[in-house]
Amino acid sequence: MTLYLLTFILFAVGLYGVWTKRHLIRIILGLVIMETAMNLFLILVGYREDGVAPIITENSSNTAVMVDPIPQALVLTAIVIGLATTALLLAFSVRIYAKYQTLDLNKIRNLRG
Amino acid sequence: MNTIAYFLVVPLGTALLLVIFGRWVVRWAGIIVSVVFSALTALVVQCYFINQLPFTVAVGGWEPVQGIPLGIHWVVDGFTLLMLALINFTGAIVALYSISSMKSYTKLRKYYALLMLLGLGMNGVALAGDLFTMYVFLEISAISSYILVAFGRGAEELEASFKYQVLGGSASMLILFAIALVYRLTGTLNIADASRVLSGQSAEMTMLFTGALFLTGFGLKAAIMPFHSWLPDAHPAAPAPVSAILSGVVIKVLGIYPLCRLFYHFIGFEGVWTGIWLVLGAISLMVANILALAQWDIKRLLAYCSISQIGYIVIAMGLGTELGIIAGLFHMANHTIFKSLLFFNAGAIEHATGFRDLRKLGGLRTKMPVTYATSLIASFSIAGLPPFSGFWSKLLIIIACMKAGHPFLAIWAALGSMLTLAAFLKFQHHGFGGPDKEYQQSIKEVSFSSQIAMIILAILCLGMGCLMLPGLRSAILEPAANILSQGLNATTLFLGN
């Protein structure tokens, strides 16, 4: 339960960073923290107490508790997607820096929703 | 090979081939993309005729064991087919319009490849039968749309796209969180299977939390009112054809479609959800209309108007009655047509004059007759004047509100429609009416291919009312509404044998 709570706190830290910070790189870091928290949460969902790696071989015993492999597959996919989105965000901040000479959102903000 | 796979394989293959060989065919790329999307639209029509709906397709032959789905499943029902038809048809029209309007941009082969990937992602979201596949395709289309928004690479585009990416990224994380919770609760990712597992246990608090996460995540993607702040920046910053596909289908397929799918087939509309949907819809509808009225930038006006029309759809879907669902789906289809057309018109005006500010425009009536005529039809449609398409769907929404016992909401929707009319009268008056301005001597109508795209959509604006005729309604709208109005019971249909 403590582990779950810590993951939630990590997620909340990321969300707080995204929604309050005014520096582009810090916003991106907030998103990355949220992603990491999500990946940890998925791994926790699949974790079993004293579980072993879910590989069935000829002489593996059926009695051993195995961890759930599906969340691990999901995390791999989520990491790849996270890599793509982070790379794209960083590429955009490089472009924005070239246009404005700053990464501070307060100085950039032309658009107001 | 199963025909359903073509919806994913063909766009992906075309996108890759365009990137590799685009150098030599870039002159024809717009036509190629348009033809590919048209062929997929034809495939949707064929699916309506030959198949017994709904059916599921197990990817790679991983058939269910004892009724428990193992692998990835595509789910095809009336709702999916309706969305597929809208996605691929709009894709075809947008590619046709892009041929001349995107000429001033560089790296066109990448533009068309991204357009194909956007189509691929949306097709995947529409077809996905399990949550994680939906998430993956959601990300594919979201990333393509982030890049497409910033395709002009100006300062404003980059900033708008950055904002879109940050909010879209947070939304994706919330959705992934909810998916992980669902997996923890049910031990499956398949929507139908999870729904069946869930019916045997009581986990109200967790489901309430999961529902709230889904509503926030997909609500951000759909730009429902408290979560809308990225849309009025991102949609105007994009090139005109991209705005058309973003406002026309992307917000619906990435936002409204998964919300409807999950709430009707998985979470269920019991308890507080109906109220929350109606309140969110009512807020979006009115506030966005008032904000739209205050805009002078044409594309920002249209973008705010998209939020208000999303409000109509959310209200209609939130009612949960069969008539409400039909009305919501009908309005979704109509909005796709007329909002794409309006963004094409805005793009044509910007292309011809160089401005988007209504205060500087005026007197374009005689110089751009096709744009004028088509935008008049689209404006009347979105404002809900009879006999244009928007009238019928808004009328249905109002009747559905009355029948469901929400007369106040019906009046609210009618008031919102009047505000829309006011906003579009402003657009027509300042854009096309008034005296000629000096700069207008050199203005010409947009190119032939763009005119064709606008005329096709304008004819559809007039013709979409026909969907209310009994024959067409029972063929197109009713299968989609039927599958949703069965609610949680419908999921047994997807689990197959």
For chain A, helix, strand, coil in percent to 5 are: 70, 5, 25
Write out B168-212 in H/E/C secondary structure. Answer: HHHHHHHHHHHHHHHHHHHCCCEHHHHHHHHHCCCCHHHHHHHHH
- Residue whose C-alpha is closest to residue B22's, from B115, B88, B104: B115
| CB-based contact A113 B153, cutoff 8 Å | no
B55 strand-pairing partners: B76
One-letter identity of residue B28:
W
ipTM of the complex: 0.93
Asked whether residue B300 is assigned to any structural domain, the reply reads yes
Q: Output the average pLDDT for chain B.
A: 88
B325, B389, B421, B424 from B294: Cα distances, Å: 31, 25, 13, 11
Residue B308 C-alpha, separation from nearest chain A C-alpha, in angstroms: 15
| Burial class, A70, CB count within 10 angstroms (exposed 0-12 / middle 13-18 / buried 19+) | middle
* Contact (CB, 8 A) for B85 and B46: no
A96 SS3 class? helix
pLDDT above 90 covers a percentage of chain B that reads 51
Pair of tokens at residue B228 = 């809308």
pLDDT given for residue B497 in this prediction: 42
Alpha-carbon distance B93 to B104, whole Å? 19
Q: Dihedral of CA B301/B411/B386/B435: which sign? A: negative
- CB proximity B360 to A under 8 Å: no
pLDDT truncated to tens, each residue of chain A (113 aa)? 888 999 999 999 999 998 888 889 999 999 999 999 999 999 999 888 888 888 877 776 666 788 888 899 999 999 999 999 999 999 999 998 988 888 888 777 665 54
One-letter identity of residue B387:
P
Asked whether residue B256 is assigned to any structural domain, the reply reads no
Find the helix or strand (DSSP H, E) in which B57 lies. strand B55-58
Tally of domains in chain B: 1
If contacts are CB pairs under 8 Å, which of residues 91-150 in chain B contact chain A? 132, 136, 139, 143, 146-147, 150
Q: What is the CATH number of the domain that holds A14?
A: 1.10.287.3510
What DSSP line would sit under B204-256, residue for residue?
HHHHHHHHHHHHHHHHHHHT-GGG-TTHHHHHHHS-HHHHHHIIIIIHIIIII
pLDDT tens-digit map of B17-76: 999 988 888 888 889 999 999 999 999 988 888 767 788 888 877 777 777 788 888 888
The parent domain of residue A13 ranges over: 2-49+66-105
Pair of tokens at residue B151 = 């395709």
Asked whether residue A113 is assigned to any structural domain, the reply reads no
Nearest CA in chain A to B178: A38
Tally of domains in chain A: 1
| CB-based contact B163 A113, cutoff 8 Å | yes
Mean pLDDT of B384-392: 87
pLDDT given for residue B342 in this prediction: 93
The parent domain of residue B287 ranges over: 271-488
pLDDT tens-digit map of B331-353: 999 999 999 999 999 999 888 88
Asked whether residue A90 is assigned to any structural domain, the reply reads yes
Residue where the block lists tokens 């585009």: B157
Asked whether residue A15 is assigned to any structural domain, the reply reads yes
Nearest CA in chain B to A85: B143
Residue pairs between chains A and B whose CB atoms are closer than 8 Å = 93
One-letter identity of residue B92:
A
| CB-based contact B162 A96, cutoff 8 Å | yes
Asked whether residue A111 is assigned to any structural domain, the reply reads no
* Contact (CB, 8 A) for B331 and B397: yes
**Which residues in chain A are contacts of B165 at CB distance < 8 A?**
85, 88-89, 92
pLDDT higher than 80, residue B321: yes
Asked whether residue B373 is assigned to any structural domain, the reply reads yes
pLDDT tens-digit map of B465-488: 888 888 888 888 888 888 888 877
**Which residues in chain A are contacts of B121 at CB distance < 8 A?**
none
Alpha-carbon distance B331 to A25, whole Å? 41
Alpha-carbon distance B7 to B161, whole Å? 28
How long is chain A? 113
Asked whether residue A73 is assigned to any structural domain, the reply reads yes
pLDDT higher than 90, residue B307: yes
pLDDT tens-digit map of B351-372: 888 888 888 887 778 788 888 9
Alpha-carbon distance B345 to B356, whole Å? 11
**Which residues in chain A are contacts of B180 at CB distance < 8 A?**
38, 41-42, 45, 71, 74
pLDDT above 70 covers a percentage of chain B that reads 98
B376 SS3 class? helix
pLDDT tens-digit map of B201-235: 777 888 889 999 999 999 999 999 888 888 998 99
Asked whether residue A38 is assigned to any structural domain, the reply reads yes
Asked whether residue B185 is assigned to any structural domain, the reply reads no
pLDDT given for residue A111 in this prediction: 55
Task: Name the DSSP letter for residue B93.
Answer: H
Residue B133 C-alpha, separation from nearest chain A C-alpha, in angstroms: 10
**Which residues in chain B are contacts of A85 at CB distance < 8 A?**
139, 143, 165, 169, 172
Asked whether residue A44 is assigned to any structural domain, the reply reads yes
| CB-based contact A31 B147, cutoff 8 Å | no
- State the best of A81, A86, A102, A112 to mutate against chain B, taking most chain B CBs within 10 Å: A81
Pair of tokens at residue A19 = 């929604």
pLDDT given for residue A40 in this prediction: 93
Asked whether residue A61 is assigned to any structural domain, the reply reads no
